[in-house]
């Protein structure tokens, strides 16, 4: 049947009907009072979501564009930065920092393992000359299904005085990211994840400390010069032509999120994560990340000697119209990933677990008992 594809990947994520309908409205001028009213409303909603009184700026870009803006506005070539790498998106930060001529001190951890905050503490405490200008961390590493301990790492960074720059692309809206409470200076995210929107908008939260760093930062920037966005945002405007209809979508999505409430949003994602993991374990499929470091955005599952993960993904897509994500780089063909963030519900997880179990059986994998996966997930979901 056409138009039944169900996205269970870490992004893009499913888009609610209300958001699609909002996006389908007639476009309006971006230099009008009507648009300014929408811009003002979404700015307030973004500050609520980020749990900050500081700036949250919007750019027309993917999450990677937000990451670039978050780097070039606050650093200069030759600056020493600690950049963590325990997955594909941490690796992207490393590549980006080197592309801009930063002096990269890389903290590299095996993919599937969480970052050890004590490694950061040791490096920062050893830096008595305060040569480290920033620490760059991916909060939710969806290439491996790992959630890093951002709160503890940020506490060490705050004590040192460096900037705390964060990729929260798949944690914003799925896990708590209290920007002010944790002392985060630059937090980057994208619309196609927890925001329940199509791709196209990037978000950067900026602290006062980061704005002070901006004044001496010398990396080149023009379209991503955040000072221009800040100046215009103060007047409920944008410096360049924005994707107006995505603002309509953002307004609708934020309204939905505010109606649900932050604590309920985080509890839902945590529940879906536990149910997904319980379902996979009951089927007899090994999980890639530990329970203690499990991302609430996606669960990574290993293949077995019997079960080929790529055959499983193809079976689930062709038979049940459910899209699962594969592994990236060295993990290609070794894991598959189940997305459960954004516009995701208990029903989605039960459906996904049932489809995966049926596919696994069809491909020769025998669970302890038929229906074990759904039963385990349902028990978690209550």
Look at the block and give the residue holding tokens 């980061």. 210
The tens digit of pLDDT for each residue in 323-350 reads 999 999 999 999 999 999 999 999 999 9
Cβ count near 161 (within 10 Å): 12
The tens digit of pLDDT for each residue in 10-55 reads 999 999 999 999 999 999 999 999 999 999 999 999 999 999 999 9
User: CATH 3.90.1150.10 residue ranges in the chain?
Assistant: 261-381
Q: What is the DSSP letter of 26?
A: P
pLDDT of 1: 62
Q: Which fold has domain 261-381?
A: 3.90.1150
For 257-294, the three-class secondary structure string (H helix, E strand, C coil) is HHHHCHHHHHHHHHHHHHHHHHHHHHHCCCECCCHHHE
The tens digit of pLDDT for each residue in 304-317 reads 999 999 999 999 99
User: CATH 3.40.640.10 residue ranges in the chain?
Assistant: 18-259
Can you tell me the distance from the alpha carbon of 92 to that of 169, in angstroms, rounded to the nearest whole number?
13
Cβ count near 284 (within 10 Å): 17
The tens digit of pLDDT for each residue in 108-124 reads 999 999 999 999 999 99
pLDDT exceeds cutoff 80 at 3: no
Q: What is the DSSP letter of 185?
A: S
* Strand (E) or helix (H) holding 202: strand 201-206
Residue 235: which residues within 8 A CB-CB, separation 6 or more?
36
238 neighbors 29 (Cβ within 8 angstroms): no
Residue (of 140, 156, 85) closest to 330 by Cα position? 85
pLDDT band at 195 (very low <50, low <70, confident <90, very high): very high
Domain spanning 18-259: CATH 3.10.350.10: no
pLDDT band at 205 (very low <50, low <70, confident <90, very high): very high
174 neighbors 343 (Cβ within 8 angstroms): no
Residue 17: Cβ-neighbour burial (10 angstroms; 0-12, 13-18, 19+):
exposed
Residue 221: which residues within 8 A CB-CB, separation 6 or more?
69, 72, 73
């Amino acid at each position: 049947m056409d138009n039944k594809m169900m996205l269970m990947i870490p992004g893009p994520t499913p888009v609610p009907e209300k958001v699609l309908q909002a996006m389908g409205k007639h476009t309006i001028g971006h230099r009008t009072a009507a648009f300014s009213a929408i811009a003002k409303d979404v700015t307030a909603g973004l500050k609520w979501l980020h749990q900050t009184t500081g700036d949250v700026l919007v750019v027309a870009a993917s999450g990677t564009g937000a990451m670039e803006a978050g780097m070039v506005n606050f650093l200069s070539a030759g600056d020493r930065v600690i950049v963590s790498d325990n997955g594909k998106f941490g690796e992207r930060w490393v590549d980006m920092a080197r592309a801009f001529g930063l002096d990269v001190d890389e903290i590299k951890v095996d993919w599937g393992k969480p970052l050890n905050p004590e490694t950061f503490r040791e490096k920062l405490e050893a830096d008595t000359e305060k040569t480290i200008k920033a620490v760059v961390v991916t909060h939710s590493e969806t290439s491996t299904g790992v959630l890093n301990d951002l709160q503890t790492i940020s506490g060490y960074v705050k004590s040192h005085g460096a900037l705390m720059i964060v990729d929260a692309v798949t944690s914003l809206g799925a896990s708590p990211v209290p920007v002010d409470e944790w002392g985060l200076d630059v937090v980057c995210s994208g619309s196609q994840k927890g925001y329940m929107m199509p791709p196209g908008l990037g978000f950067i939260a900026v602290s006062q400390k980061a704005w002070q760093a901006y004044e001496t930062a010398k990396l080149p920037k023009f379209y991503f010069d955040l000072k221009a966005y800040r100046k215009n945002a103060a007047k409920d405007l944008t410096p360049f032509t924005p994707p107006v209809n995505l603002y309509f979508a953002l307004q609708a999505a934020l309204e939905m999120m505010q109606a649900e409430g932050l604590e309920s949003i985080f509890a839902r994602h945590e529940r879906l994560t536990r149910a997904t993991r319980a379902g996979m374990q009951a089927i007899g499929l090994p999980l890639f990340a530990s329970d203690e470091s499990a991302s609430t955005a996606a669960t990574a599952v290993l293949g077995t000697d019997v079960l080929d993960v790529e055959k499983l993904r193809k079976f689930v897509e062709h038979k049940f119209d459910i899209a699962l994500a594969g592994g990236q780089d060295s993990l290609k063909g070794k894991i598959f990933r189940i997305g459960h963030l954004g516009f995701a519900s208990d029903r989605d997880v039960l459906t996904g677990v049932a489809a995966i179990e049926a596919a696994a059986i069809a491909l020769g994998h025998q669970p302890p008992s038929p229906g074990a996966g759904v039963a385990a997930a349902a028990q978690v979901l209550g």
